[in-house]
Structures are given as C-alpha cells and as structure tokens.
C-alpha cells in the first residue's frame, strides 16, 4: 500500500484581482502559509502561459522553482475550461462562449480547434513539469438528451460518443506520447458524468491507457450514487482526487434535478469539508487500500461558507484523513514462524 500525498488545493476558486490571490507567486505563498504542500493549477493565461510551457522546459523550471521557494509544488495542471470546449452542443454555445478568448467567441469551430490545441499543450507542459496526471472535463454533445423524453432516436447516444471519441482520441495519444494520465472529472453537464458513461467512452477508445478518472465523491452524492462502491469498481483508473464534500437532502418538493433553484436552496449542494455527507474516512481508506498514491486536492465549493475559511479548515481535515500506511501486519507479533513443512503437518498432510 502507499500513502496518499497532501494536502493540496485547487486554485481555480481562489483566483482574484486582490492580493494574495492576484498572482501565482502570491497564491503559492498563501497556500503554503495555510499548510498546503501542493497546488492544482488551472491554466489561466493570467497565471500560467500554457503554450509557452509546452514549448519551453526552462519556463516550466522557473515556475517550479518559484513555487518551490514559496513552499508548494504543482500536483496537476487543469484544463477544465478547455476540456469543456472540446465538445459543446449548440444549445450551450452562447453560455460557453465566455470560456474562450474574445476573438473566438461566436466561432464554435475555431473555438474547438483552440481548445484541442490547448489540451495537447497541457500534455507537453505536464511532461516538462515532471507531473504524472492532468485534470480536465470531457465536454458534452449528448447532455441535452440526458433524460429519455422525448424518446431518443435509435443511435443518437452512440453517434454522440463516436464524435466525442473522434475529438479526444488524438488528445489521448498526445498524453501517451508525454507519459501523462488524462483524468476526466466525472461531472453532471459532461457526457462523462458517471461510471456507465465513462465505461462507454473507455470501450470506444479501445481502453486507451491514458483515459482515466479524477475522482470527486461530491458529484456522486448529488447523483445519489454509491461513491464508495465506485472506488472498488474503478480504482485502476482513478489517477487524481478532489476532496470535496456535498449533501443531498431530497424533499417532497424537489430531488436530484433541483427544480431550477439556486445552490442554497437545492436538495443537492456542495459543502465545505466536514459540513456535508461524504464519509471521507471510508473514501481515504478505500483509496489507500487500492494503492492510490496521488494527491488529495481540496476543491472548495460551498453555498454557505466563506472560501478562505473553507481553505483554512481543509488543511487539518485532509491531514487528519491521510493514512500513513503500515509496513507490517498488526498481528505479526503472534507469528509462529512456520514453514512449508509445518504447514503441511497442520493440514494433516
């Protein structure tokens, strides 16, 4: 067994225009001051030049050195925004246009080409940084049809996943060339949002070695899934981990779909660590049991608590859940030191 690394923090929800959230160096020092050892870095151009990182190991070494001096290391890069843009159903074009550079807005074809290139750059940048895994979204073509009414035409979902594969397969090959695991965060709104959809995609890409999972139990709580059984089923493909809490409290008025309510009023909502329903003792135990040796990365999202409080509390929470694995069995003291011949005698052989 292996000991999970951490604590680390995903910076996406903390980036801002005021110190200490205004520069990468400031964010690194802030995270380290709280006790974090790692940061998961969104590839926001204001903080990290992804294309430059893909072209220049020197640039990557400089970023690593500065963050090391601040007291943290990069756990993974994130292209959640760009991954979303690899596949966008036209119904969502206007809403996702804000994810793209201004000159690509209103140009979905060019926007997708840009997104694919960005993620391929992330593979090379991750290689230059000496990372093992990368975090992203799959995007979605079939999501508007997630509920089977009206009845879906035969072949619709199959065609959506065939197109998803056509778009992602060259990206997966780029990650294979760089030796990096591409980890899809299974998330409502993405075509890869649960185990069944991941399996469908994995089969369609021929069980590509780089098609893996970013495990986040909060998204499974909100889908009323068994998030512990998920680990037992898919542990061989879990290569990244978001430590995020959630709660699901259905009522006689609303359930999984949320009734178009805002986050505060939805039955399913994200919470700061320890304030929700995820059994993290069991989550960390199962991941440790199955030899997950990646980072435990706090992703703070909460409808109620202030983010800085959530970040501060998250350090102790993760430290208290990381299991330092044992090097010997607890009952070794009672070992009889038997050998093969003794075992045969015990069996009456």
Tokens of 73: 């290391």
Question: pLDDT tens digits, residue range 116-166?
Answer: 999 999 999 999 999 999 999 999 999 999 999 999 999 999 999 999 999
* pLDDT value for 337: 72
Nearest to 192 by CA among 136, 256, 112: 136
Longest dimension (CA), the chain: 81
* pLDDT value for 330: 65
Tokens of 75: 């756990």
Find residue 41's DSSP bridge partners: 77
* pLDDT value for 221: 98
* pLDDT value for 327: 79
Angle at 311 between CA 24 and CA 132, to 5 degrees: 60
- Please give the full DSSP string across 262-326, using - where no structure is assigned: -TTTSSEEEE-TTSSS--HHHHHHHHHHTT--SEEEE----SSS-HHHHHHHHHHHHHHH-----
* pLDDT value for 71: 98
* pLDDT value for 334: 61
The verdict on pTM exceeding 0.75 is yes
Which CATH number describes the domain made up of 5-346? 3.20.20.150
Cα–Cα distance measured from residue 126 to residue 136, given in angstroms and rounded to the nearest whole number? 13
Q: Say if residue 113 is exposed, middle or buried (CB neighbours under 10 Å; 0-12, 13-18, 19+).
A: middle
| Mean per-residue pLDDT pooled into runs of 10, the chain (349 residues) | 96 96 98 98 96 98 98 98 98 96 96 98 98 98 97 98 98 98 98 98 98 98 98 98 98 98 98 98 98 97 97 98 85 72 89
* pLDDT value for 333: 62
Q: Where are the domains of the chain?
A: 5-346
């Amino acid at each position: 067994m292996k000991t999970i690394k951490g604590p680390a923090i995903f910076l996406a929800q903390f980036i801002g225009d005021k110190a200490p959230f205004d520069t990468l160096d400031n964010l690194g020092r802030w995270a380290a001051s709280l006790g974090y050892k790692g940061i998961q870095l969104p590839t926001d151009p204001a903080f990290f030049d992804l294309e430059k990182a893909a072209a220049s190991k020197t640039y990557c070494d400089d970023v690593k050195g500065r963050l090391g001096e601040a007291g943290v290391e990069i756990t993974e890069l994130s292209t959640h925004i760009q991954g979303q843009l690899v596949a966008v159903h036209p119904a969502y074009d206007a809403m996702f246009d804000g994810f793209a550079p201004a000159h690509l807005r209103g140009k979905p074809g060019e926007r997708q080409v840009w997104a694919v290139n960005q993620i391929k750059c992330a593979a090379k940048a991750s290689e230059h940084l000496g990372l093992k895994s990368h975090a992203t979204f799959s995007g979605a073509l079939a999501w508007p049809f997630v509920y089977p009414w009206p009845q879906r035409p035969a072949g619709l979902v199959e065609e959506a996943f065939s197109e998803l594969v056509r778009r992602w397969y060259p990206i997966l090959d780029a990650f294979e060339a760089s030796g990096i695991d591409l980890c899809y965060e299974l998330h409502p709104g993405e075509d890869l949002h649960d185990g069944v959809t991941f399996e469908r995609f994995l089969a369609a890409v021929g069980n590509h070695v780089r098609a893996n999972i970013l495990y986040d139990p909060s998204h499974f709580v909100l889908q009323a899934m068994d998030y512990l059984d998920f680990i037992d089923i898919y542990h061989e493909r879990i290569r990244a981990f978001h430590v995020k809490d959630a709660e699901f409290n259905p009522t006689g008025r609303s359930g999984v779909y949320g009734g178009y309510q805002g986050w505060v009023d939805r039955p399913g909502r994200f919470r700061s660590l320890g304030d929700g329903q995820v059994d993290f003792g069991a989550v960390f135990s199962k991941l440790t049991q199955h030899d997950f040796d990646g980072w435990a990365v706090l992703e703070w999202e909460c409808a109620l608590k202030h983010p800085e409080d959530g970040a501060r509390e998250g350090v102790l929470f993760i430290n208290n859940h990381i299991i330092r694995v044992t090097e010997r069995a607890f009952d070794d003291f009672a070992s009889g030191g038997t050998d093969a011949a003794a075992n045969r005698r015990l069996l009456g052989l």
